[in-house]
Amino acid sequence: MSILIKGGTILTHDDTYRGDVLLSDGLIQAVGSDLDVPANTDIIDAGGQYVMPGGIDPHTHMQLPFMGTVACDDFFTGTAAGLAGGTTSIIDFVIPQPQQGLLDAFHIWRGWAESSAADYGFHVAVTWWDDSVYEDMGTLVEKHGVNSFKHFMAYKNAIMATDDILVPSFSRCLELGAIPTVHAENGELVYHLQRKMLEMGLTGPEAHPLSRPPEVEGEAANRAIKIAQALNTPIYLVHVSTKDALDAIIYARNQGQRVYGECLTGHLLLDDSVYRDENWERAAAHVMSPPFRPKGHQEALWRGLQTGNLQTTATDHCVFCAEQKAAGADDFTLIPNGTAGVEDRMSVLWHEGVGTGKLSMNEFVAVTSTNSAKIFNMYPRKGAVAAGADADLVIWDPEGTRTISASTHHSNVDFNIFEGKTVKGIPSHTISRGKVVWKDGQLNA
């Protein structure tokens, strides 16, 4: 069955023009006007709307086993929520336990992801090092299409990658043409400050940001960037949340170093006052790492996006319900870290970015889709509105509104960090591999 999207304005990372889009067999067949349309083609009227590449969220953790529990969106519910918000692809993370083979872990995650309602890819974390890790990285790149390896510089005594792991792993990435990515927080400092908070009797969520101040991120960002410089490899920093880390990226880019940065919708909007909420459940629901930051950092991140020093937006969608967060009732270090966002990213960014004039519509497409496709080697199959690309598209209603709420969102989680926010600019249709999976508020994932 073919679909013709008719009468819309096509929006890409570098162009805006009136045109129709013909889809069949999961692909975009043609873009333009007066297209040759087969009989029995379904017509979607996109008048007054924008037709843009489906969103790519380059940072999610569906059903992640983490901090003694498992994230409560699986690959189906999490990707279905994404589709409802206009995101047609995610890049999730395979996270082997130390000593677990990378390939073994990869196959486990691939099995879980069979239930995915949207397309997905994987970054693979390097959490330990020996010759088998070196070999498995090669197999993952050459046989399984993995383009990127993740290094958690935090989470001591769990998955933390210390310098003796970062150095050989970055070097191996360079050999393979894969890109190393880092969660930049100094895990040793976090561990020290967490112990200090607990000794001082600070056991609640208000201690979470105090144990992970901006310097913790700044130090790790600088270290990772310098290691990458010494080894002459590009590097990508996930969830950049501070001016400290952004300054390190800007400095390096100004020296000609190939450094990329991602920021999260939540970090662009929220500040650390959420941890001082008198309601423990609400404060704990915001516990994620890096934490939401003191006022001022948000504006710096927006400037990072505007200047092109940050290239991608993501969510770090990693969700735990109230009863899971309660594991840390007496000790904030035991609250499972993570918040939601995969369904809300596109609308919140349109509303706060395009709606305020901070971002142009084309920059919106770049930071929600095309730049991730380019950095992670999927472009122009993803992130483009062009003949031959996957038919992953959003028809965007710039006048449509939605009030975000945990009571109406599609994720399994019982909390939404944007609760009550009304956004203008929503997907009227989401099309995944040529199938309409979201239409006027109805999900058919």
Give the binding site for ligand URP (CB under 6 A).
61, 183, 288-289, 316, 318, 337-338
C-alpha 419/C-alpha 438 separation (Å) is 22
Residue 338 beta carbon to Zn ion: minimum distance, rounded to whole angstroms: 8
Q: What is the residue-wise DSSP string for 415-431?
A: --TTTT-EEEEEEEEEE
Query: Per DSSP, what are the bridge partners of residue 314?
Result: 264
Interaction of residue 92 with Zn ion, rule CB under 5 A:
no
Reduced to 3 states, what is the DSSP secondary structure of residue 62? coil
CA Rg, the chain, in Å?
21
Residues of span 424-443 touching Zn ion by CB under 5 A: none
One of 151, 183, 374, 410 touching Zn ion (CB under 5 A): 183
**Count of CB atoms situated within 10 Å of the CB of 435:** 14
Closer CB to Zn ion, 52 or 94, in the complex: 94
Interaction of residue 185 with Zn ion, rule CB under 5 A:
no
List all residues 6 or more positions away from 106 whose beta carbon is below 8 Å from its beta carbon: 94, 122, 124, 140, 144, 146
Closer CB to Zn ion, 86 or 291, in the complex: 291
Closer CB to ligand URP, 189 or 318, in the complex: 318
> CB nearest Zn ion: which residue?
183
**Count of CB atoms situated within 10 Å of the CB of 320:** 30
Residue 78 Rama label (left phi>0; alpha psi -120 to 50; beta): alpha
> CB nearest ligand URP: which residue?
337
The binding track of 307-336 with respect to Zn ion, each residue x by CB under 5 A or -, is: ---------x--------------------
Residue 154 beta carbon to ligand URP: minimum distance, rounded to whole angstroms: 7
Find tokens 């730049």 and name the residue. 371
List the structure tokens of 30: 């043609």
Closer CB to Zn ion, 136 or 316, in the complex: 316
Find tokens 């950049």 and name the residue. 240
Q: How many residues bind Zn ion (CB under 5 A)?
A: 2
Closer CB to ligand URP, 49 or 298, in the complex: 298
Residue 5 beta carbon to ligand URP: minimum distance, rounded to whole angstroms: 35
Residue 236 beta carbon to Zn ion: minimum distance, rounded to whole angstroms: 12
Please state the separation of Cα 340 from the chain's center in Å: 10
Closer CB to Zn ion, 183 or 293, in the complex: 183
Fill in the DSSP letter of residue 247: H
288 binds, options Zn ion, ligand URP, none, Cβ within 5 to 8 A by partner type? ligand URP
Q: Which region among 65-73, 180-188, 228-236, 341-349 touches Zn ion (by CB under 5 A)? A: 180-188
List the structure tokens of 146: 């993995």
List the structure tokens of 120: 């997905």
Find tokens 């929600």 and name the residue. 368
**Count of CB atoms situated within 10 Å of the CB of 177:** 11
293 binds, options Zn ion, ligand URP, none, Cβ within 5 to 8 A by partner type? none
Closer CB to Zn ion, 134 or 191, in the complex: 191
Residue 338 beta carbon to ligand URP: minimum distance, rounded to whole angstroms: 4
Q: Cis ω on the peptide bond leading into residue 290 (within 30° of 0)? A: yes
- Chain residues binding Zn ion by CB under 5 A are 183, 316
